[in-house]
Amino acid sequence: MSNATDSVPALPPSLDLPPHLSAQKYFFVCTLTVAAWDTLVLSPRSYRLFRSKEWPLLKIAYHFLRLFMPIEFTIVGVAFFDTSFTLDSCNKFFLFEPICTAILLAVCSLVHVVRIHAIYEKSRAVLTPMAVLLGVQVVVTAICCGFFRTTPVEEGQGCIASPKHNWVGIYWVSATLLYTASFLLALNRSLRSLQVKHISYWKLMLRDGLNLYGAIWIVNMVNMLFWFIITPTGPEDPIRTIVTSMAAVLTTSMTLRIILSVRGSLAKGGSFAVSSANTHSHPSTHVISAQRSAGGPVLSLQQPQQGTYNVPLGPDGKTHEWDDKASDAIVEGKGDDVYAVDSSIATDDGPKGVKITIDTETDYGRK
């Protein structure tokens, strides 16, 4: 038995992987699958967006993210799985992923800032804190890129960038803070719109893309748990960075869908589904009265806080043909005379709505 055991050849380092490194390789395969599938699924919509005439900021960011994300992780995947990738090559390459991911997150965050600013109708009170969070994120991620190192694994097991210190996790804290603010502001705007038009929460989520903002927040929070709660077994353990690639891919994927969910033009961040101008609308008032009138039935049109316009309906009064070319004119009755009222009277600034009163006389004793 001992001779049979000794005759079994040892596995090469590329296959003899520690548990956490093996899990990271499997998880990275899932990341590449998501990136490839997302690129394929969005191709028709990307083509239609590309053919549109305008080139606002959101459109430029969309096509940049759609190309930059799969290119970055294809290159990272080659360095991760290529068994001929030497340690010397890794020492020159390992900063590629942190730097490119920082660029990717910065563009995604810029999209969030522009979009949130747009749905709050260009409010400076919203733009200022979001812009500050974006600036902090860019500065923090740029500084943190200088504090990564290569994971000391055996040659042939892949090239992986790991943080030198625990505090380097603020690289992802800065981005997560912005996505948290973006999610909360989008949620607040959607809930406020229910005062104008009440719909179910499920339809509200799909209409305003709250599921997209929520997915970005969740994946970044999970990534934070791996960075600050899970403890690696040693310097060769890459457990902290196991979710970073998936977090970057999903953040980019959901951000692309946020851009595609914008209604109408992408100029200036697009518009919101419900305009706040509708919050002060005045509904029409219809009043039917059964007052007796000696002159026959009378149709009374009344606009709140303005004059009442009476149109005789009975056969006893003077009859006038309705002029289709001047359909916006209103007929005002004063005594036995009827005068045309210019439409400018009815279009004065003031509360909207029309009050309709119908005065009729009914003889119930007549057969």
Instruction: Give residue 10's pLDDT.
Output: 74
- Report the pLDDT averaged over residues 33-42: 93
Backbone angles phi, psi at 16, to 5 degrees: -90, 80
Taking alpha carbons only, the member of 87, 70, 235 closest to residue 159 is: 87
The rounded distance, in Å, linking the Cα atoms of 190 and 182 is: 12
Taking alpha carbons only, the member of 59, 48, 120, 51 closest to residue 266 is: 59
The total of other beta-carbon atoms located within 10 Å of residue 290's CB is: 9
Helix, strand, coil percentages, rounded to 5, for the chain: 55, 10, 35
Contacts of residue 59, defined as CB under 8 A and 6 or more positions apart, other chains included, come to 49, 52, 259, 266
The rounded distance, in Å, linking the Cα atoms of 332 and 312 is: 9
Percent of the chain topping pLDDT 70: 71
Of 160-164, 218-222, 250-254, where does mean pLDDT reach its minimum?
Answer: 160-164
Q: What are the beta bridge partners of residue 358?
A: 299
- Report the pLDDT averaged over residues 218-229: 92
Taking alpha carbons only, the member of 89, 108, 88, 112 closest to residue 100 is: 108
pLDDT bracket for residue 314 (50, 70, 90): low
Whole-model pTM over 0.75: no
- Report the pLDDT averaged over residues 111-125: 93
